[in-house]
Copies of this chain bind each other. A is one copy, B any other.
């Protein structure tokens, strides 16, 4: 079983050090400390375990070190920055493991970009040596790239020519869409095993600058301080500690303090429940900092995030997940008001962005989610996003109409003074829209009406406003929701993955959705193709005697 909890004192592959506003995140992968003993992580190549530490480091810099304004991403190995994902690991992985590995590493790189865009933490890739494949894709996620000019060190994306697969961690997308490398040069670059170095790497836009070995460290330090100067983060701490989640894991459940996942293995479903305690909100931002990760929404979303990751990698057969909430809906709305009132405070900001990333993780989890909204539930504001993220939501239309949902500023904000209602909000999906905007695509009025509704919605009102999929009454409820889950669980898992990946992302595409839509979908196709994974495919042939044998038919 793979777990995602780690901390700097337990890192095996990274060294995280601090020097005032500059943190240095240095890769130093331990060859023999991979998640499996089937491969050696040579030349700073990585597996999921290495990336789990990277994701943790980025997270902790945001929460535990508000004084950090720039991060240098580099390597402690001589002449090697990073050789990319470990090929022997990929070779030996199941299809599902490959797909989930790429999904997580993509989310980690997007989290780096999220920290830069929204938290005032800039990232400088200091490439002190060869930088291949996933190594270059990590650099691409940084704001700037400096490459040592030692006559040898190059950046490269050798996956296609060498292994018959794509650079699967956003490389192709970021080269043309983020760094805006001309598409024909990108084509040359991505088919050149040895990559591009020196001045040409700058001319093509693959890196921002090159620097002779003798000046490299100074130049990196200097540039990192310049990047740090633009930050709007606090000048000093304190941060808050992210303590270990330590869920109780049994054969049939994962139980955290506020989140639980109970498996119905014979039905291939799970019940995911989020508890809302009636804790009072902190009186001030200072009290929030003092509360730290005990503040329940942070705790609940951290647990939810961890639960989603475990579901993905450890529970592939659980295809349908029913989401419920329990507790005080007013407590959720009070938290949302508090977070909105203090949105300029660094910690409130971090918490909201963390909620956003967790909800994106849910959008990108290839499982069916149904939300069941029953009396005693707490689907308000930020927690109602769970219902909006779900493929369907069922709300019990109870006779006495005490079953309610509610919206808050977390679901979106309408600037009513404009002639044309402009929405937007803090919990954006990766398509750049709120979940309400995506739901009512092209019908801004419905978004506005929902957000301007006074007070909670009972089931009748929620259905009329289009906020829930169906609102069966007490007589129909049990049969209707049971049949919906049973029917879903009987469909082809692959068809459901494809269906959901298309229906969830209505509206505009962004670089982020392109990475998961276009790039990942093609990569997953290639990961199924005999030319890559067959006995004579390129991925299998790599490192063995002989060359791959291809079926030459183009598709």
Contact = CB atoms under 8 A, between A and B. Distances in A.
Given A166-B495, A317-B553, 19 more contacts: A96-B553, A161-B487, A166-B498, A177-B507, A183-B503, A183-B506, A184-B469, A187-B500, A319-B552, A492-B538, A494-B529, A495-B538, A497-B522, A497-B555, A508-B508, A517-B521, A524-B555, A525-B525, A528-B528
A501 B524 contact: no
Interface in A421-450: 438-443
Interface in A286-314: none
A219 to B, nearest CB: 26
A529 B528 contact: yes
A553 B503 contact: no
A428 B551 CA distance: 34
Q: List 8 A-B pairs, minimum CB-CB distance, nearest first.
A: A164-B492, A521-B521, A509-B509, A176-B506, A517-B518, A316-B553, A498-B522, A172-B502
A439 B494 contact: no
Contacts of A117: none
Most buried by B among A177, A191, A393, A496: A191
Interface string A542-555: 00000010111111
Interface in A135-171: 159-161, 163-166
A495 B532 contact: yes
A182 interface: yes
Nearest to A521: B521
Nearest to A100: B555
A516 to B, nearest CB: 9
A263 to B, nearest CB: 13
Interface string A453-467: 000000000000010
A184 B391 contact: yes
24 contacts: A96-B553, A100-B555, A159-B495, A160-B499, A164-B491, A164-B492, A172-B503, A173-B502, A177-B506, A180-B441, A184-B390, A184-B393, A187-B469, A187-B500, A191-B488, A316-B554, A317-B552, A317-B553, A492-B548, A493-B551, A493-B555, A508-B508, A509-B509, A525-B525
A175 to B, nearest CB: 8
Given A502-B166, A504-B183, A487 B191 contact: yes
Nearest to A523: B498
B177 A441 contact: yes
Interface of A: 95-96, 99-100, 159-161, 163-166, 172-173, 175-177, 180, 182-188, 190-191, 268, 316-319, 366-367, 390-393, 438-443, 466, 469, 487-488, 491-509, 513-514, 517-519, 521-526, 528-529, 531-532, 537-538, 548, 550-555
A555 B177 contact: no
A442 B537 CA distance: 38
A153 to B, nearest CB: 23
Given A518-B501, A554-B317, A526 B487 contact: no
Number of copies: 2
Contact of A180 (B159, B318, B443): B443
A491 to B, nearest CB: 6
A528 B99 CA distance: 15
Given A180-B442, A469-B184, A469-B185, A531 B494 contact: yes
Contacts of A487: 161, 191
A197 B525 CA distance: 35
A373 to B, nearest CB: 13
A137 to B, nearest CB: 13
Contact of A532 (B164, B176, B492): B492
Contacts of A367: 554
A187 B440 CA distance: 15
A393 B318 CA distance: 49
Contact of A186 (B166, B318, B442, B503): B503
A553 B99 CA distance: 12
A485 to B, nearest CB: 12
Contacts of A390: 184
A105 to B, nearest CB: 16
Contacts of A505: 518
A161 B469 CA distance: 19
A502 B518 contact: yes
Contacts of A554: 96, 316-319, 366-367, 493, 496-497
Nearest to A319: B554
B548 A466 contact: no
B525 A528 contact: yes
A441 B176 contact: yes
Given A183-B503, A493-B531, A499-B166, A96 B555 contact: yes
A353 to B, nearest CB: 24
